[in-house]
């Protein structure tokens, strides 16, 4: 259920088990999983998200378009 995208509290409502118990179950099962295999090849194309910020002073001091 968790791996299919259900939240802990949604699982809690269906299974009628407290969500902290479900979190413990997921942690225990996660420790038993094998580690991800190493990546042998490096991808040629990557994706980078950009964040643009504004640094400076505000041009209008007050009101709508007033200076």
Q: Please state, in angstroms and as integers, the Cα–Cα distance from residue 35 to each residue in 5, 28, 31, 42, 57, following that order.
A: 21, 14, 9, 19, 50
CA distances from 23 to 9, 26, 41 (A): 10, 5, 35
Between CA 34 and CA 3 the distance in angstroms is 15
Weakly modelled stretches of the chain, pLDDT under 50: none
The whole-number pLDDT of residue 14 equals: 95
Per-residue pLDDT at 42: 83
- Backbone CA torsion sign across 14, 20, 25, 30: positive
């Amino acid at each position: 259920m968790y791996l299919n995208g259900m939240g802990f509290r949604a699982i809690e409502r269906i299974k009628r088990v407290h969500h902290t118990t479900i979190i413990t179950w997921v942690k225990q099962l996660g420790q038993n999983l094998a580690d991800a295999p190493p990546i042998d090849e490096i991808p040629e194309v990557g994706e980078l998200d950009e964040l643009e910020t504004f640094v400076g002073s505000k041009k209008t001091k007050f009101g709508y378009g007033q200076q």
